[in-house]
Structure 1
Amino acid sequence: MPALQSVLWLRLIIIAANLSALYQASCMTRSVWLMAAKTYRTVQGDAWDSIAYKLWAKEHFMHYLMAANPAHLDILVFTAGIELSVPALPVSSTTTEGLPPWMQ
């Protein structure tokens, strides 16, 4: 019985290591995606926070979008077809936000 428990613990450790590697790879992919600057064309009814959420899944990043587009700061709700510049987000390599507790 103790040998079976050892094998199960070893398998659990291997699975955890694989999940950790997959999560880190997905974070690296997301970081590269965040560093790529691009443009966004608005649709009717877009607002600063909804655009930030569509781009980065975090509406509180809208201040980066607003800083990159000072000519449109007077617009609260966009009409369709306005082209906005999408800045590259600063990516911190030391952040542990969003990591599960065992990876922090």
Structure 2
Amino acid sequence: MSGLDWPGLMRAGLGRLRLSPEVFWGLTPAELALMLGDPASPRPLDRARLAELARAWPDAPMQGRDERDAGDGRTGRIRGAGRPGGGAGDEPGRGPGDDGGL
């Protein structure tokens, strides 16, 4: 005997992985082990784990910073946005499409 748990491997390959018998029997033990994953590897990040991490490491509000501030001095607002004719490049002496001679 080879010492492999064939009934367990067949349940895992044919049942859990939903492999066809042809694909299952065509795999090497190393390929099947790779498909089943390493039980010692870290578990994937799911909603429950994300909530657990959020409780363990809560975000703290920054003192003296606008809540819309990304930390780089920009707030995500475009100068002149919301005003008729306003938008990016809305500076005195410059009109829409005027690149300032660049």
Could you tell me the TM-score, scaled by structure 2's length?
0.24
Question: Normalized per residue, which structure has more strand?
Answer: 1
Larger radius of gyration: 2
Question: Normalized per residue, which structure has more helix?
Answer: 1
User: Larger relative contact order (C-alpha < 8 A, sep ≥ 6)?
Assistant: 1
